[in-house]
């Protein structure tokens, strides 16, 4: 098992042996990939029919993708000595031709000790070794002899180097340096829904992505069938994180924004703020439910059918019983409607059997289900509906709204909801973004959504109750990992208490776990951002930064020199390695971009993670979840003034810097930052 026999004292020869093991493991991986590729090309011949060829092809092509070897990423990053065996720990299993492991997947049960073993609880580990790499080359290692009481913890040089490395391009995985408290979350059981309240840069996103990879490893078949979904705040964020799971060999995870999930109709309308806020209010779920079920009527007419020489009749009384019973079953509306139809047909069938002595055939049953008398009965008593028709009716028909909202919404609130100009038809309706949450709620009342096996929701503090319900419908039979920071809530409906969000998500029992060790923002920068915390009125623990490095500069200039001062800061930042971001109020972004371009600086937009330009100009409203080595924040007062929760936005903006932060301002700094 990955055994190396070297004189323990000779570091150089030990390094050589480890390099040899790396080379041999790479070669073994190449052979594994070669075998998968030849199976893939032979797949069509092996599989009998087109369907199994297709399935096999997909499995094999995924296997080939999983076995891709990126020369820039180390194949293993650690080693455990347990008893007399040595195990290299890496991104995936690598076995030699005899099937013996050369590298253990970081998710394997044994690998857990790499992340959790300590002097107090060595878990059988005598030595833990971490490897240092430079551009894929193994250059160093660092040992902790747990059996001799040696433990480095966060003083590890290799961990420090990883945390302090300059950032370029999209987010990377952290498998080599997952911390014990993070690992407990990553390896939580599939059945457990968890909520992580973590200050900026504590690794929430990293934890969520690694948990997805871990669960896929452990429950591959089950989760492949039901699927794993990652929900993020916007497309810039999704492209930033999109490379992490493929780098861990997981190529089949869906990523979406909440808006993507509920995009049933194009957004062609706009709401006033008050209407949007109300449409995201959980009371709307009750209103919609009532509006829908109010459509179910009481049968008063019999159903009479002439069938050849026979006549069948069902009286109102048994019809009422069928309808009442179906209502009590609490099925989605459309399913209930079909249930009623089936029971009506069953009564007809019973009459036919009684009179003719024969069981009617399939064709007869199908015909009865569609005959005008049964159809008319259903249309009267349990009419077919679409989500669009229900929502349009609710927003245009004052009487319907009044009935459905009675005791739930005030008259004034009902007036806020009603469309000023009713559309000519359901098709012509111009739905707003907030209407889409109503449409999705309505769709969920009509029919059940397929449920993912696991859903990871990032930046969850911004979920409205109605958005949370949309996610709940998609994770009804699965578990969730909820990640967020109440202090970073910027949506008008942002959560103040995780318990509320968890209730709307249908997971009221989930534990809320805090993360407080910050891996991104240097201590000096965090101290500045933390000055805002008391004003944000949320009860969250402060982050403590692991980083002692980092610079902070606050530059006050006259209003006419803000752009020029920004250019000076950016130019100075470009002297260092790593990415540079200019973050400003959305309204100032075009102006700043033009100013930088006029000075000959190429700039990228935040969703273009592969851009060659080193400088990105980012509107404050989409920088959540992202990070850059050097951040230049332009005019904090303007960022705060731009929206009702502007101080929360500023807190997000100030916590994006990995190494250095410059704040350029002409207007006075917002109160809590003054005197910084
Ligand atoms: N154990 C770790 N080892 C090395 N780097 C880490 C570790 N945990 C987190 N990081 C790094 O710290 C940075 C912040 O992590 P991440 O984006 O996951 O934090 P977050 O809590 O989601 O932040 P935010 O609240 O701002 O969205 C990332 O660059 C991540 O790779």
Over the stretch 345-373, which tens digit does the pLDDT of each residue have? 999 999 999 998 888 899 999 999 999 99
Shortest-distance Cα residue to atom 27 of ligand 1: 625
Query: In 8-111, which ranges are continuous DSSP H helix?
Result: 11-46, 50-66
> Where is pLDDT greater, at 25 or 5?
25
Answer whether residue 650 shows pLDDT above 60: yes
Confidence of residue 155 (pLDDT cuts 50, 70, 90): confident
The response to whether 205 counts as a known ligand-binding position is yes
Q: Under a CB-based contact definition with an 8 Å cutoff, are residues 514 and 543 in contact?
A: no
Question: 264 alpha carbon to ligand 1 midpoint, in Å?
Answer: 34
Question: 412 alpha carbon to ligand 1 midpoint, in Å?
Answer: 45
Q: Return the H-helix or E-strand segment holding 170.
A: none
Q: Are strands 194-198 and 511-515 parallel, antiparallel or unpaired?
A: parallel
Pick left, alpha or beta for residue 515 (phi over 0 → left; psi -120 to 50 → alpha; otherwise beta): beta
In sequence order, the 6+-apart residues with CB closer than 8 A to the CB of 162 are: 174, 176, 177
The ipTM (two decimal places) reads: 0.99
Answer whether residue 63 shows pLDDT above 70: no
Q: Under a CB-based contact definition with an 8 Å cutoff, are residues 485 and 178 in contact?
A: no
Regarding the beta carbon of 485 and ligand 1, being less than 6 Å apart is answered yes
Average pLDDT (658-673) is: 95
Confidence of residue 5 (pLDDT cuts 50, 70, 90): very low
Distance CA 374, CA 382 (A): 11
Which of 155, 166, 185, 205 is the best mutation target for the ligand 1 pocket, counting ligand atoms within 8 Å of the beta carbon and taking the most? Answer: 205
Question: 192 alpha carbon to ligand 1 midpoint, in Å?
Answer: 22
Average pLDDT (329-345) is: 96
- The predicted pLDDT at position 2 comes to 36
Distance CA 418, CA 272 (A): 11
- The predicted pLDDT at position 470 comes to 98
Ligand 1 atom nearest to CA at 176: 3
Question: 203 alpha carbon to ligand 1 midpoint, in Å?
Answer: 3
Average pLDDT (193-218) is: 95
Distance CA 143, CA 161 (A): 16
The response to whether 153 counts as a known ligand-binding position is no
Ligand 1 atom nearest to CA at 178: 1
Shortest-distance Cα residue to atom 16 of ligand 1: 203
- The predicted pLDDT at position 57 comes to 63
Answer whether residue 201 shows pLDDT above 70: yes
Q: Collapse the DSSP code of 221 into the 3-class scheme (helix H, G, I; strand E, B; otherwise coil) and give the result.
A: helix
Question: 518 alpha carbon to ligand 1 midpoint, in Å?
Answer: 7
Buried b (16+ CB within 10 A) or exposed e, 167-201: beeebbbbbbbbbebbbbbbbbebeebbbbbbbbb
Q: Are strands 479-484 and 125-134 parallel, antiparallel or unpaired?
A: unpaired
- HSE toward the beta carbon, residue 522, CA cutoff 13 A: 21
- The predicted pLDDT at position 256 comes to 96
Average pLDDT (504-511) is: 96
Distance CA 599, CA 509 (A): 55
The four Cα atoms 67, 69, 70, 74 give a dihedral, to 10 degrees, of 110
* Percent of the chain at pLDDT exceeding 90: 78
Which of 241, 520, 533 is the best mutation target for the ligand 1 pocket, counting ligand atoms within 8 Å of the beta carbon and taking the most? Answer: 520
Question: 254 alpha carbon to ligand 1 midpoint, in Å?
Answer: 21
Answer whether residue 41 shows pLDDT above 80: no
Distance CA 631, CA 662 (A): 6
Q: Collapse the DSSP code of 142 into the 3-class scheme (helix H, G, I; strand E, B; otherwise coil) and give the result.
A: strand
Regarding the beta carbon of 494 and ligand 1, being less than 6 Å apart is answered no
Question: Tell me: the pLDDT tens digits for 478-493?
Answer: 999 999 999 999 999 9
Distance CA 390, CA 290 (A): 11
Q: Return the H-helix or E-strand segment holding 481.
A: strand 479-484
Question: Tell me: the pLDDT tens digits for 609-644?
Answer: 778 899 999 999 999 999 999 999 999 999 999 999
The response to whether 624 counts as a known ligand-binding position is no
Distance CA 172, CA 150 (A): 29
Question: 160 alpha carbon to ligand 1 midpoint, in Å?
Answer: 13
Average pLDDT (593-602) is: 95
Answer whether residue 599 shows pLDDT above 50: yes
Regarding the beta carbon of 520 and ligand 1, being less than 6 Å apart is answered yes
Answer whether residue 337 shows pLDDT above 60: yes
Distance CA 482, CA 504 (A): 12
The response to whether 202 counts as a known ligand-binding position is yes
pTM to 2 decimals? 0.90
> Where is pLDDT greater, at 134 or 400?
400
Confidence of residue 4 (pLDDT cuts 50, 70, 90): very low
Mean pLDDT, all residues of the chain = 91
Q: Which residue matches tokens 């059940």?
A: 448
- CA gyration radius, the chain: 30
Q: Under a CB-based contact definition with an 8 Å cutoff, are residues 60 and 40 in contact?
A: yes
Exposed/middle/buried for 47, CB within 10 Å: 0-12, 13-18, 19+?
middle
CA angle 455, 460, 464 (to 5 degrees): 105
């Amino acid at each position: 098992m990955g055994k190396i026999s070297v004189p323990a004292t000779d570091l150089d020869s030990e390094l050589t042996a480890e390099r040899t093991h790396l080379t041999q493991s790479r070669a073994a991986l190449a052979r594994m990939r070669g075998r998968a590729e030849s199976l893939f090309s032979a797949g069509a011949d092996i599989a009998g029919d087109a369907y199994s060829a297709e399935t096999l092809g997909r499995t094999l092509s995924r296997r080939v993708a999983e076995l891709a070897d990126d020369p820039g990423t180390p194949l293993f990053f650690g080693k455990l000595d347990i008893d007399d065996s040595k195990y290299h720990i890496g991104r995936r299993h690598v076995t030699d031709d005899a099937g013996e492991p050369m590298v253990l997947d970081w998710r394997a049960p044994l690998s857990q000790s790499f992340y959790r073993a300590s002097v107090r609880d060595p878990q059988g580990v005598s030595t833990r070794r971490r490897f240092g790499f430079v551009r894929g080359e193994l250059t160093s290692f660092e040992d902790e002899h747990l059996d001799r009481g040696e433990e480095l913890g966060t003083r590890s040089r290799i961990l420090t180097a990883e945390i302090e490395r300059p950032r370029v391009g999209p987010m990377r995985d952290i498998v080599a340096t997952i911390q014990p408290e993070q690992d407990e979350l990553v390896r939580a059981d599939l059945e457990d829904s968890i909520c992580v309240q973590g200050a900026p840069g504590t690794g929430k996103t990293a934890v969520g992505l690694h948990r997805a990879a871990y669960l896929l490893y452990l429950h591959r078949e089950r989760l492949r069938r039901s699927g794993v979904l990652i929900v993020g705040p916007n497309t810039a964020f999704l492209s930033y994180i999109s490379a992490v799971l493929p780098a861990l060999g997981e190529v089949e995870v869906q990523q979406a924004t909440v808006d993507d999930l509920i995009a049933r109709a194009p957004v062609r309308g706009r709401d006033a703020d008050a209407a949007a806020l109300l449409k995201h209010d959980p009371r709307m779920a009750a209103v919609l439910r009532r509006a829908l079920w109010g459509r179910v009527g009481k049968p008063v007419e019999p159903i009479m059918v002439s069938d050849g020489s026979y006549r069948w009749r069902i009286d109102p009384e048994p019809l009422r019983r069928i309808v009442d019973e179906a209502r009590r079953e609490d099925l989605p509306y459309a399913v209930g409607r079909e249930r009623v139809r089936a029971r009506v047909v069953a009564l007809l069938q019973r009459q036919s059997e009684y009179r003719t002595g024969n069981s009617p055939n399939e064709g007869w049953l199908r015909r009865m289900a569609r005959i005008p008398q049964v159809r008319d009965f259903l249309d009267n008593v349990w009419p077919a509906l679409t989500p669009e028709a229900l929502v349009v009716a609710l927003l245009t028909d004052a009487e319907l709204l009044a009935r459905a909202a009675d005791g739930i919404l005030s008259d004034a609130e009902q007036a806020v909801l009603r469309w000023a100009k009713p559309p000519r038809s359901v098709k012509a309706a111009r739905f707003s973004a907030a209407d889409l949450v109503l449409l999705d709620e309505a769709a969920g009342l009509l029919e059940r959504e397929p449920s993912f096996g696991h859903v990871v929701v990032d930046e969850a503090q911004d979920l409205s109750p109605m958005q949370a319900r949309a996610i709940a419908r998609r994770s009804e039979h699965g578990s969730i990992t909820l990640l967020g920071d109440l202090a970073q809530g910027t949506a008008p409906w942002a959560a103040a208490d995780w318990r509320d969000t968890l209730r709307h998500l249908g997971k009221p029992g989930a534990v809320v776990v805090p993360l407080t060790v910050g891996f991104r923002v240097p201590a000096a920068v965090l101290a500045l951002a933390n000055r805002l915390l008391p004003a944000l009125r949320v009860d969250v623990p402060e982050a403590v930064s692991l980083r002692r490095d980092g610079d902070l500069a606050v530059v006050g200039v006259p209003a006419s020199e803000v752009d020029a001062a920004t250019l000076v800061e950016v130019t100075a930042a470009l002297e260092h390695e790593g990415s540079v971001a200019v973050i400003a109020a959305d309204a100032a972004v075009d102006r700043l971009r033009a100013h930088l371009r006029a000075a000959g600086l190429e700039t990228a937009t935040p969703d273009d993670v592969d851009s060659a330009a080193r400088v990105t100009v980012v509107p404050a409203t989409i920088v959540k979840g992202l990070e850059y080595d050097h951040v230049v924040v332009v005019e904090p007062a303007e960022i705060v003034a731009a929206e009702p929760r502007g101080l929360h936005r500023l807190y997000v903006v100030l916590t994006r810097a990995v190494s250095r932060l410059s704040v350029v301002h002409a207007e006075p700094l917002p109160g809590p930052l003054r005197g910084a």
